A and B are shown apart, each in its own frame.
Chain A
Amino acid sequence: MDEMRQFIQFKLGPEDYAMEMSCIREIIKPMNVIQLLGAPKFVQGIAKVRDGMVTIIDLRKKFVITPASEGEPRIMIFESTNETERIGMWVDDVVEILESNSIQPIPTIIHHGIIKEVIRTKDHIIPILDIKQLFTNEVMTWLGSGDTEITDELTAVQDEKNVRRN
């Protein structure tokens, strides 16, 4: 048996995702977000949380996810060592805290490995968003770019991996 890991299960649009709980600093209710001129589309803006400032990103914009009509929208603020680089992600609902030890890796065809593993529950499979991967320079560049399609870069990465496998 693998070790029990704790996740936070949330929704982007109608789909459920999970994120390692240790990556999350705090969950807050939606608040007034100030838009930033010139920021990429997926950056919703900045918001004042207590004494600090949090940059809010909205992955739905990038992945073209229709916002859910049900649920209570929340902002999940990520753990960060740098107080000035605090990032929060807009989600359509925080479902629950999930404890699981049935984690399965998935083939790395997912773009830039944002999702590497899934949690198998009784009835579902919930993809785990890898926060560390999400904020690599490479992914940040892609997030900032205009495409919504799989990029050549990804195809190149895949090819490379296939080559390695063979």
Chain B
Amino acid sequence: MIQNYMQMVDMIFDTDSGKTSVWLFDLEKFIYIRMGSVINLPLKIDQPLPTTTTSYECLQTGQKVIRTVGAEVLGIAYTGVAYPIKENGVIIGGIATTGSTERERALAILPSLSKNLSESLQQVSAAVENIASSAQVLSDAEIALSVQSEEVNDKAQQMEEVVEYINSVASDTKVLGLNASIEAARAGEVGRGFAVVASEIRAMAISSATSAKDIRKIIVGIQGLVSKMTVELEKSGGHTQEVSAAIEEIGVTIESLTGAAVELAALSAKI
């Protein structure tokens, strides 16, 4: 009696925590089904065995049938196994299971996955190292810029001294021009020509003084810009340090991730 094997169906079903579907059939139809949680085939009790099933095939061949079905059919890969049941050498039916092969597949790809993970982490680690060295270069450049802006400031200071000198020459020239004019006036009519020269000298002195004043304004502008630049540099220096600190943290995290990947690889080898 094929019904005597129903208990076995339950046992197999429970062994796999109800994931695998277990089928009991006689020569024509399914007589007992425990539908697993993973594979859900549209087959019912008392339904004649479809010719495509492993069940049907094993009845035909009298041999066990193992067939693997890819994920393209049900969205999940599974393996169907069907055994004929014989009493006194006569086939009276059979028992079949359809179980997910996901775990096997997962186990098969786990080593390569963990290897990939390790490699990726190595790449990330290398990239982080690159960023760290870039941050160092950036920081060095900032320091160099800082020094250079200091130099620009010094140059501006020197320029100011030169302008100061030009200014004092202009001021002396103005006095000279004024005195020349006074002298020319004293000479009366004879001094007319000289008076023109004197007034030209004064005009020149005034325009030199004006130019010197303009240059000084420009220098003050330059100094203002340089001091702004210094402030910005200090700010960006702070950011660079933050970046460096963050990179260091990331480095530590990656190290622990790499450790985890190694453990994972070892674990997957044991399963």
A residues lining the B interface (CB < 8 Å): 6, 8, 21-22, 24-29, 72, 74, 94, 96-97
Contact = CB atoms under 8 A, between A and B. Distances in A.
Interface of A is mostly: strand
Interface in B23-57: none
Interface of B: 171-172, 174-175, 178-179, 181-182, 185-186, 199, 202
Contacts of A96: 202
A27 B182 contact: yes
A99 to B, nearest CB: 10
B185 A8 contact: no
25 contacts: A6-B185, A8-B178, A8-B182, A21-B181, A21-B182, A21-B185, A22-B185, A22-B186, A25-B182, A26-B182, A27-B178, A27-B179, A27-B182, A29-B171, A29-B172, A29-B175, A72-B171, A74-B175, A94-B174, A94-B175, A94-B178, A96-B202, A97-B181, A97-B199, A97-B202
A143 B175 CA distance: 29
A54 to B, nearest CB: 15
Nearest to B175: A27
B200 to A, nearest CB: 12
Among B178, B182, B185, B202, which residue has the most Cβ atoms of chain A within 10 A?
A: B182
Given A27-B179, A27-B182, A97-B178, 10 more contacts: A6-B185, A21-B185, A22-B185, A24-B182, A26-B179, A27-B175, A28-B175, A29-B172, A72-B171, A97-B202
A21 B182 CA distance: 7
Nearest to B182: A24
Nearest to A27: B178
Contacts of B175: 27-29, 74, 94
Contacts of A74: 175
A21 B178 CA distance: 10
A97 B185 CA distance: 11
Nearest to A23: B182
A55 to B, nearest CB: 20
A79 B172 CA distance: 21
Nearest to B206: A96
Contacts of A97: 178, 181, 199, 202
B167 to A, nearest CB: 10
Nearest to A25: B182
A21 B181 CA distance: 9
